[in-house]
Chains A and B, each alone.
Chain A
């Protein structure tokens, strides 16, 4: 029936042959092009993926310290930082240059350059104790003042102290510093800790601002 006619139709159509429009070389050439395109896409895709991964890891690593730098504090409560450690204690001793032959005219102690007087703040829980001037008396011996400091000096706070700007306009010299060191080490160690730091003035400032 119809199936037989279909078979006859297909057989008759198969008799007629047409010339080929492409050969195996064309197929191979086109296949190689597709292969190279796929390879290029694969390389580009992996490069993009690697770049994105590196950028993402970089962002993550860059964001980690920022999250740790802000500790969580309850809202509404302001915290005062701890007392500043005496990393650079200021010598309370005048650092005038002892000129040989001239008397020492500057006062032995100058007030720290604080704009707020500690006694002017009534609500300060900590009353800054006045700094007592150390009984430093330069020996006035020029040969001993010019001796270089020994690194094995006394471990008092004056050894790590950076000299403050002098209260007087006299320039500070190394000889002055060394003279001070060699002058009276026991007096420096006898000073109380809060007296040789900026702690009271710093605390007064923060309290006054809040």
Chain B
């Protein structure tokens, strides 16, 4: 089987999950599409040189996360500047109000902490796997996790936990 046919099959199988991962990382669909497309192009170019094809999922996830971090790093040098006041963030229509609040608070977390939160609580990766994906140490992953959760709590406010405790059993 040629690499093009193999890549087409793999793309049909994994494109949706990678797009959603990119959406969690970026916070909007447009940027997520760009990141996923760039990641798939990198995978297509590097595919013929790959010796092992077993861990393609982890490899592609790593590409997506690093492409997202590179885009955010490059964003400083762009002419478009992001403002502190976020525009209206489009969220899913079926989300409850508390989820919308959490989603908006997550969009204000720094990129690397956000990547750590997505990898650990969506992909259920361990600390070592997250460190390997982000090419950093285990301690860095732990500190990023702690700081990300702290930033989320600060954004949500001290009363959010109590409110969520009240809402959660009913939900």
> What is A's interface to B at a CB cutoff of 8 Å?
1-3, 5-10, 12-18, 20-28, 30-31, 34-35
Contact = CB atoms under 8 A, between A and B. Distances in A.
A7 to B, nearest CB: 5
A3 B99 contact: no
Given A10-B118, A10-B122, A12-B99, 16 more contacts: A1-B161, A5-B168, A6-B121, A6-B122, A6-B152, A7-B122, A10-B24, A13-B20, A13-B95, A17-B16, A20-B15, A22-B37, A24-B8, A26-B37, A27-B40, A28-B7
Contacts, number: 83
Interface string B30-47: 000100010011001100
Contacts of B152: 2, 6
A31 B95 contact: no
B41 A34 contact: yes
Interface in B1-37: 4, 7-8, 11-12, 15-16, 19-20, 23-24, 29, 33, 37
A37 to B, nearest CB: 11
A10 B121 contact: yes
Interface string B65-91: 000000000000000000000000000
Contacts of A13: 20, 23-24, 92, 95, 103
Contact of B41 (A5, A18, A27): A27
30 contacts: A3-B149, A6-B102, A6-B106, A6-B121, A9-B95, A9-B99, A9-B102, A9-B103, A9-B106, A10-B24, A10-B118, A12-B92, A12-B96, A13-B23, A13-B24, A13-B95, A15-B94, A20-B16, A20-B19, A22-B37, A24-B15, A24-B40, A27-B11, A27-B40, A28-B7, A28-B44, A30-B41, A31-B45, A34-B41, A34-B45
A14 B12 contact: no
Nearest to B40: A27
A2 B153 contact: yes
Interface residues of B, number: 39
Contacts of B117: 6
B164 interface: yes
Contacts of B161: 1-2
Contacts of B12: 24
9 residue pairs, one from A and one from B, having the closest CB atoms:
A24-B11, A31-B44, A24-B8, A16-B92, A10-B122, A27-B40, A6-B121, A9-B99, A9-B102
A38 to B, nearest CB: 9
Interface in B122-163: 122, 149, 152-153, 156, 161
